Amino acid sequence: MVLRAELPKSLIASNFERYDPNRQGGRVPIRFVPEQEKEDDEKLTGKSATVKFKISPTVEKTYKVLSTGGTEAFINHIRVHRTILADCKVKEEAVAARSIWLANRREIETLTVADAVANQVQIENLNEANRELKETIRTLQKDAFDYFEKLVSPALAVKWQLILKEEIDWTNYVSLTGTKPRIVRTMDFSSLSPCYFRFVKLVAPFDAAERLRRYTTTNMVLNTEKGITIEMGVACVVDMNEALPYLPCLKHKKGAPTAMAAMNTKDAEIELCTIVLNAVNLTVSTA
If you average pLDDT over every residue of the chain, what do you get?
Answer: 90
Average pLDDT over residues 193-218: 95
DSSP string, 205-265: -TTHHHHHHHHHHHTB-B-GGGT--HHHHHHHHHHHHHHGGGS--GGGSTT--TTPPPS-S
Q: Is the pLDDT of residue 286 over 70?
A: no
CB atoms within 10 A of CB 76: 19
Decide: 73 and 5 in contact? Cβ < 8 Å. no
Amino acid at 81: H
pLDDT, tens digit (0-9, with 9 covering 90-100), for 90-117: 999 999 999 999 999 999 999 999 999 9
Distance from C-alpha of 13 to C-alpha of 35, rounded to nearest angstrom = 9
CB atoms within 10 A of CB 185: 17
Candidates 274, 207, 261, 286; CA nearest to 27 is 207
Decide: 125 and 111 in contact? Cβ < 8 Å. no
Return the pLDDT at 1: 43
CB atoms within 10 A of CB 91: 17
Identify the band that residue 37 occupies on the pLDDT scale cut at 50, 70 and 90: low
Which of 110-114, 160-164, 227-231 is least confident? 227-231
Tell me how far CA of residue 147 lies from CA of 78, 91, 276, in angstroms: 11, 13, 38
Q: Which H helix or E strand runs over 64?
A: strand 59-64
Q: Which residues contact 269 (CB under 8 A, 6 or more apart)?
A: none
Q: Is the pLDDT of residue 23 over 50?
A: yes
pLDDT higher at 65 or 3: 65
